[in-house]
Structure 1
């Protein structure tokens, strides 16, 4: 099975929750991406998708 590719879109800046504005992964998830199994990557992608609709706690700005 082919590895799941990184969702990075080259907008690498963290919000106040330590979540990337571009891919919505945490710094830990970004750093460990290459170590994750495909199942773990799928779980990270699911969490990142859920974060897209969450507010930045410092600004209450929503990301879509």
Structure 2
């Protein structure tokens, strides 16, 4: 897999965890952030799907 195929981090440089251990910037859990560099391609895609769901919920409830 070349560099262009790698799943990039959703980090937006707003790094702060809320009371639920979710980053208010990228919507990843503390565990997902910590493990990101060790995750394979499929795991990262799964995290990004979760991030999209969390982001939608935060816009609805925010």
When the two chains are superposed, the root-mean-square deviation of aligned CA atoms in Å is 1.3
- Which of 1, 9, 12 is equivalent to 2:12? 9
Q: Displacement of 1:53 after TM fit? A: 2.4
How many residue pairs get matched?
A: 57
**Structure 1 segments unaligned to the other structure (5+ residues):** 56-60
Structure 1 outlier segments of 4+, above 2 Å: none
Q: Which whole-Å CA distance do the structure 2 matches of 1:54 and 1:18 have between them?
A: 16
* Pairing 1:1-64 to 2, within 5 Å after superposition: 1=1, 2-55=5-58, 61-62=61-62
After TM superposition, the score normalised by the length of structure 2 is: 0.82
Unaligned residue ranges in structure 2 (runs of 5+): none
Q: Distance in 1 between matches of 2:50 and 2:26?
A: 11
Query: Which of the pair is proportionally richer in helix?
Result: 2
